[in-house]
Amino acid sequence: MDRQKLLTIFGIAWVSAALLTWFLYAKTKAPKTEATAKILAAARNLPAGSLLSQKDLKLITVVARDLPSGALTGPQDALNRALLFPVNLNEPITAPKLATLGSAEGISATIQPGMRAVSVAFTDASGASGLLQPRSHVDVLFTRAGSLTEAMTVTLLENVVVLSVGRNTEVQQTTVANAKAAVRSSTSTQTATLMVTPEQAQLLELGKNQGKISLSLRNPSDRTARTEPKAAVIEEIDPLLLTRSAKRGSRLPPGINLKDKNAWAKLIGEESDGTPKKAPPPKPEPPKPKLTVDVFRGDKHVQEIFP
């Protein structure tokens, strides 16, 4: 093989190696150019209920494949609309985070259409020991006090969103000042504003006026609901409490079971079907006593009886 052929083969090999090296570098190390888009974002930290103006908005550039759902492309899409949720600096503002155009500024704008805001009082003992925060999810428990047969607790509402705690509509950051304030107010009464339907608002108001309301904190991702809510009564805590109390109070003979419908009806004077027993016929009047007269004639004593 002559010298010219060797040089040609060497040149082709060198060019092929250079091309392969460039191709591998372009695929692994070289910066990639991806499609981008400009979307609307917050120019500063904004609380829920803020009515957006031009100074609150700016445009940011994001990769097109990372575009959030409902992203807005211009300030005209968000001006004069209220925020339903708080947003941070540079956080994209999307359509689901905004109230409808013309909504009022403030916390009332965060109430969804068809819903109502109702406040309930709670303490650490009845409100998850101060763990309640805005946008928490809770169950509402209703407790009715009274005698042993009247006392009960029932889950009145399930998976209710907390709109605010007191006047706070944002999750409070844990600081030394907040911790000291929480210690001072641990026994004081606070209020939680719940977002409920009009029908639930009626139940809640009735429960507030007829018994005690407590809030049970739940996981926000837990969407389960009981199909057949059941009230908790004293018999579930101590099944024999009523029997013992009745025995102490009325000295029932041994072997009487108050849970037996027929035995209970017999004790309270009713038939087994719940109807009152018929009154017994009146007793006949006793015969009137006869008139007896004692007659004394000297030393003789005679009793005369007159009908």
| Tens-digit pLDDT profile for residues 247-283 | 565 555 555 565 566 666 666 566 656 566 666 677 7
DSSP annotation of 51: B
How big is the chain by its Cα radius of gyration, in Å? 42
Report the Cα 219 to chain-centroid distance in Å: 10
Q: Do 168 and 210 share a domain, yes or no?
A: yes
Q: Do 139 and 49 share a domain, yes or no?
A: no
- DSSP readout, 93-120? PBGGGBPPTTPPSSGGGGSPTT-EEEEE
Domain end marker among 110, 144, 161: 110
307 vs 296: CA distance, rounded Å: 20
Contact predicate 274/258, CB 8 Å:
no
Residue 132 lies in a domain: yes
Q: Do 147 and 179 share a domain, yes or no?
A: yes
Q: Is 264 helix (H, G, I), strand (E, B) or coil?
A: helix
Bridge partners, residue 208, by sequence: none
87 vs 167: CA distance, rounded Å: 19
* 29 backbone dihedrals φ, ψ, rounded to 5°: -110, -30
Q: How far apart are the first and last CA of the chain?
A: 170
Q: Do 88 and 120 share a domain, yes or no?
A: no
Residue 60 or 236, more confident: 60
Work out the percent of the chain whose per-residue pLDDT is above 70: 71
pLDDT of 234: 74
Contact predicate 213/207, CB 8 Å:
yes
Residue 279 lies in a domain: no
214 vs 125: CA distance, rounded Å: 8
Q: Do 202 and 191 share a domain, yes or no?
A: yes
How many CB atoms are located within 10 Å of the residue 166 CB? 12
pLDDT at 106 over 90: no
pLDDT grade for 307, boundaries at 50, 70 and 90: low
Containing structural domain, residue 186: 116-234
Residue 288 lies in a domain: no
Paired tokens of 55: 């100074």
pLDDT of 179: 47
Highest mean pLDDT (candidates 30-34, 166-170, 184-188, 205-209): 205-209
| Tens-digit pLDDT profile for residues 17-54 | 888 887 777 767 655 667 888 999 999 998 877 888 89
pLDDT of 175: 46
How confident is the model over 105-113, as a mean pLDDT? 71
pLDDT at 64 over 80: yes
CATH number at residue 57: 3.90.1210.10
Residue 248 or 133, more confident: 133
Q: Provide the residue type at 189 as one letter.
A: T
pLDDT grade for 176, boundaries at 50, 70 and 90: very low
Domain end marker among 186, 207, 234: 234
Report the mean per-residue pLDDT for the chain: 77
206 vs 202: CA distance, rounded Å: 6
How confident is the model over 225-241, as a mean pLDDT? 75
Domain count, the chain: 3
